Structure 1
């Protein structure tokens, strides 16, 4: 085949090299706009794992890089007058020019033609090529010419950064955070050769503007950064990149993601590679990694499907399919890391102490977890756990092991939870006339003895017409109160868990069938109870064309429902519950007032967010007034409607502030289920960022929810200060003793088992250890 790589960066050069090695008969040319053996830039960084992959594909190149790279294990944080260091992270730094020179030399050795000093404007300039690899960077002209096919999604991020260098040498990947009169500015620093280190300075747009850096050229910008980081530089100078635009050396990062990666144009197939098709923020240093792995995967596909022109459609299709998942995963991690640096000045720098700030920084991408940190630097993590333990009131002797963060106690008002694990409220649809049944006793009792610190009953309704289904429990009669009291007493008598009551009203989402009979489907004549009338903030139909219509609440309705919430709260206190949560999420009655998607009122209870919060706050205040002052109250909110025009995470901060002012102790941060037009983005711990943002910006404790399924997740969330408690739902349905199980998995044996089950404890923990050892032995 005749192959032309447009762009002589890592992607184009490495692909050309590997493809020529796959079949020496291929005519491979790499076209580069710069002069021979000339490039610009400072250092690039990638992980030890990337080096191992390169070694498997082309050992000579990997060996030459290894002799030229600078390797370090440590990450160092300079913050608030402290210097903290963690090891075991395994990075490789090498000058961009040196890396490209190595790749250029290897290409020449295997017979790849290098064509320099040529700017390519269109793929049609090589119309005789079978394959054109467009590796022409973030501003790809090839991608731009065919953007209707490639469909690039390009997002410009708000932070400004300048890519500098210095002759001061660093022995760790160093992060330096400096507070200025206008806000925080941070530097990302790493050594990449024997003489030079990369020094990237980054700050939010408003800080950049406030310092007048929008009017500063390269010299003024360097002088500013030298003065700002003088304590770090110790007299060394900073150097600009000669290729920076003279009018402004400060850049905005652009995230590139393409819907399609290749096309057929005339005689040629064109495929994007590297930054032309995807970018990853420098916060996790993976741009070069992505480019090299693109080259490897495309060559792998040629090896599997054939390296002739006829194989190109299959090869390119499988290439995109194979790479898309890995790239998306890494881009998501890079996005998390990027966002962390974008908001750290306002969200973390002032709020967190250096120890927790470093933990948060190390886990910013959510790729590095608590136990992964233990593998990297056990001593550092144990020291951090001891620091966290002390602040949670856990006293440990010097020779005692630290307590994992999830197993530290949490106290609010007069209630102390033994750990940070919460059994989420989960609808069971098993009540009769609103009365919790024997099933509820077994269900909640089993989870109370399963190790969690707090067990929530499912959303319990304040009136018959406030139920979701005929199988939902209530707390509007004394008979219901007595049934709940029996459950609460059993939990208190047989476990050291606390039990919480979540009160709510279904609003427009009521009068439906039980989940297994058709979730959200309205009751029919064949069901055991007829439909009942629905109320909400405004008339609505939850399932368009299916659900029955609700009517807008009148003032009289509001007074009646408020009184129902207060009466149910009194019964909850009489039943002996330790904790009360007000359900203001998921499109139920109180949520319908908060979201602009469901509240279209024109009176004092509609319009602005403070107006839309007016009635939920009235209910909260009525409930708080009759709930014992010494007992805590939380509020569950939908922190994101996932639909245009709905509640956003920024709104969630304001909502939390209003409830905090009214007396809430915690905000339970869920999202969605307000409209069927929602488009949520699911993933591991996908709702934790809402709890994190509300906690830091509203200054109130939070509960994180959503795809939290391992001890590692809980430990990472709690240790980083992203939430105070973690509510676990489906894993607790599958395993009532989820907390006891996860404790055994991470080797924490101090969690108390019910005395009736203690005979099994040691054997259970030993079996898990054997299983883990066997799995590790298999590799």
Structure 2
């Protein structure tokens, strides 16, 4: 049956959904509406892991091969704390330039017959005529905001300030760098996405941000200061703000955790960051958006009413998101409580950095947790106890804060 679908937003979620729907039924009439000019996306690179790549190969091998071909990969994580450094071997991670990812998905969508309309802004009061309208227009979704009361949208701002930057330095591992200043600690996360450079996200507590004058500095002054603070890890390479052609300069933000009580309204459904956000420190945003697209396409393939399909999509994705959102909350809290961990010996500090998703960690003295975690590696009984205590704490936190879900 021919179905007309309008995707509002030409990011990874909207493009990938259009690909999957066209693969399911080439007769579907699908248009992706994107307000920005083609090729003018923000950001530098995105991260993902082997599990996502496997799922991409299952759903569309053609685009998956192109994504894998243009990705870089790493296995090591490196933490720099002042003049100390620790390197650990971990799971295989991948990085790809956001521009390149969008180019791959757009080319694949066009080859399947999807219409892509750039510089075409959809207003919330005049949605396209379609059987299904997909709001894939990000955390600031105008489509969702128009009906925020129906969706039950809630936004909670995090404590720390952060800025999304790029650098010509190509990191060979997922890199953490912590620098102490007279106003407190400031840190960066760096990861390569190609031979041209890396993404570099800088974060600090609000008192450090104001103490260093970053709240008053213009973009050039701020970048110069950050380059000095991270000169050792950058190796003399510059930091850069948003790429030319996108518009506004790079700016400091506080992370917005967005949730919605429901994800659909009649023939309108939310996808990706328009439906939910997870803290950037776990590197899952693009993965979750693509997985949303997979789940929605699968639900729409089944013989059911549109409302039943949208309900199934939401139900499945909420369940899948719960552990990821929990991990993101605890990860953000770890950084907000950095002084609790930063003075530990380097090996212990880096080990607890890797354990920052644990619901048990905030409630156990750090050095004791480290010893328990080391012992659990040799004891199945201790591993079970650690998981049980963490699960009980997570359930208690969820019961006290039932809105902390997508």
Looking at structure 1, the residues matched to 176 and 385 of structure 2 have their Cα atoms a distance apart, in angstroms, of: 26
Over 6 Å off, 4+ runs? 693-696, 726-729
Q: Deviations over 1:349-393 (max 9, x none)?
A: 12x111110010011113xxxxxxxxxxxxxxxxxxxxxxxxxxx
1:334 is aligned to 2:294: no
Matched residue, 1:349: 342
Please report how far the alpha carbon of residue 710 of structure 1 lies from its aligned counterpart in structure 2 after TM superposition.
5.1
Please say if residues 137 and 274 of structure 1, whose CA atoms lie closer than 8 Å, have aligned partners that are also in contact: yes
1:154 is aligned to 2:147: no
Please say if residues 67 and 101 of structure 2, whose CA atoms lie closer than 8 Å, have aligned partners that are also in contact: yes
Looking at structure 2, the residues matched to 139 and 712 of structure 1 have their Cα atoms a distance apart, in angstroms, of: 41
Residues 12 and 692 of structure 1: CA distance in aligned 2, closer, same or farther (over 3 Å): farther
1:282 is aligned to 2:289: no
The aligned runs of 1:645-724 (5 Å cut-off) are: 689-692=362-365, 711-712=382-383
Q: Deviations over 1:622-679 (max 9, x none)?
A: xxxxxxxxxxxxxxxxxxxxxxxxxxxxxxxxxxxxxxxxxxxxxxxxxxxxxxxxxx
Matched residue, 2:400: none
Looking at structure 2, the residues matched to 322 and 75 of structure 1 have their Cα atoms a distance apart, in angstroms, of: 32
Please say if residues 348 and 367 of structure 2, whose CA atoms lie closer than 8 Å, have aligned partners that are also in contact: no
Q: Deviations over 1:199-254 (max 9, x none)?
A: 111101111011111001111110011000011112111111144744x7111110
Please say if residues 79 and 175 of structure 2, whose CA atoms lie closer than 8 Å, have aligned partners that are also in contact: yes
Please report how far the alpha carbon of residue 298 of structure 1 lies from its aligned counterpart in structure 2 after TM superposition.
0.6
Name the TM-score, length of structure 2 as normaliser: 0.88
1:363 is aligned to 2:355: yes
The aligned runs of 1:242-641 (5 Å cut-off) are: 242=243, 243=246, 245-246=248-249, 249-264=251-266, 269-306=267-304, 311-344=305-338, 346-350=339-343, 352-366=344-358
Please report how far the alpha carbon of residue 304 of structure 1 lies from its aligned counterpart in structure 2 after TM superposition.
2.3
Please say if residues 242 and 248 of structure 2, whose CA atoms lie closer than 8 Å, have aligned partners that are also in contact: no
**Structure 1 unaligned regions, length at least 5:** 367-685, 697-708, 718-725, 730-779
Matched residue, 1:139: 140
Please report how far the alpha carbon of residue 727 of structure 1 lies from its aligned counterpart in structure 2 after TM superposition.
12
Please say if residues 123 and 132 of structure 1, whose CA atoms lie closer than 8 Å, have aligned partners that are also in contact: no
**Structure 2 unaligned regions, length at least 5:** 370-379, 393-406
Please report how far the alpha carbon of residue 40 of structure 1 lies from its aligned counterpart in structure 2 after TM superposition.
2.2
Please report how far the alpha carbon of residue 170 of structure 1 lies from its aligned counterpart in structure 2 after TM superposition.
1.1
Please say if residues 355 and 361 of structure 2, whose CA atoms lie closer than 8 Å, have aligned partners that are also in contact: no
1:55 is aligned to 2:57: yes
Residues 106 and 710 of structure 1: CA distance in aligned 2, closer, same or farther (over 3 Å): farther
Please say if residues 36 and 119 of structure 2, whose CA atoms lie closer than 8 Å, have aligned partners that are also in contact: yes
The aligned runs of 1:86-235 (5 Å cut-off) are: 86-122=88-124, 124-126=126-128, 128-235=129-236
Q: Deviations over 1:327-369 (max 9, x none)?
A: 122111111111111221x21112x111110010011113xxx
1:42 is aligned to 2:36: no
Looking at structure 2, the residues matched to 113 and 727 of structure 1 have their Cα atoms a distance apart, in angstroms, of: 47
Looking at structure 2, the residues matched to 710 and 45 of structure 1 have their Cα atoms a distance apart, in angstroms, of: 34
Name the TM-score, length of structure 1 as normaliser: 0.47
Residues 72 and 19 of structure 1: CA distance in aligned 2, closer, same or farther (over 3 Å): same
Higher relative contact order (CA 8 A, sep 6+): 2
Matched residue, 2:375: none
Please say if residues 124 and 146 of structure 2, whose CA atoms lie closer than 8 Å, have aligned partners that are also in contact: yes
Residues 249 and 728 of structure 1: CA distance in aligned 2, closer, same or farther (over 3 Å): closer
SS in 2 for 1:215: coil
Larger Rg: 1
